[in-house]
Amino acid sequence: MKTSLLSGFVLASISLVAAADLPYGTVVTECSVPNTVAISFDDGPSTWTSGLIDSLNAANVKATFFFVGTLNNNCLYDKADVVKKAYESGHQVAAHTWTHRDLTTIGAEAIFSETVRMEIALKKILGIRPKWIRPPNGAYNNNTLDILKALNYKVATWNLDSQDWNGASIASSEAKFTALGSDPRVITLAHDALQATAQQLGPWIAQWAKERGLRAVTLSECLGETVPGGQYDIVGGAVPMDSTWKC
């Protein structure tokens, strides 16, 4: 009986440790949970993001979308239905700043603006504040990190870059994945703002993970965080669209 109780206590303790949310200011580049991968996309929502979500849903995998407020004539508010679709499908919604500025080249006030404008938009659209951010180009320094920590953010970069942003062919991007070992624990970088990625590479990565026997999960899940506690602050329900929904 004592042995059974002790075993149960140990298992419960392990479970609590495994589900601990990471502190603000943490920087991660890879998954920590065995046999998981975090498929992530930057620079959306775009014209092609909705179709990508459909492909991921059909494959029964989850991804993380680092959405940006306004980039390449796209406005987050204009794609609010896509943001909601990603969130309601169980994918993780995270921040990629408002205008995709290099955070290492701007001051605290500008970083505050880049993050808070994104928070305001996601609060209106979803009723949440994201706890995770990916700095544009993955660029940060100690000053940037101190400011993001003070703003209650955790930082995610990647350890597998598809190079889609650099003009890599679909075949060369796929080769990066096929060359990986049996438990790579990758956080990937790709861009749903690129049509070829959204329509070809993204769905292919989802199938690659399944064929390898890996679990393609959200960023927080691949880090052993709670869901949704590790992902978001819930800050009230979404609000109806009004005249303030402008970029």
| Residues recognised as catalytic | 42, 191
The H helix count followed by the E strand count for the chain is 9, 14
The alpha helices in 19-128, defined as continuous H runs, are 49-59, 80-88, 108-126
Please name the amino acid found at residue 144: T
How far apart, in whole angstroms, are the C-alpha atoms of residue 62 and residue 64?
A: 7
Tokens 């092609």 belong to residue:
48
DSSP string, 147-175: HHHHTT-EEE--SEE--GGGT--HHHHHH
- Distance (Å) of CA 71 to CA 68, 85, 136, 198, 224: 7, 20, 12, 17, 32
CA atoms within 13 A on the CB side of 107: 1
CB 86 within 8 A of CB 128: no
Q: Which stretch of DSSP H or E encloses residue 40?
A: strand 39-42
Tokens of 101: 């500025």
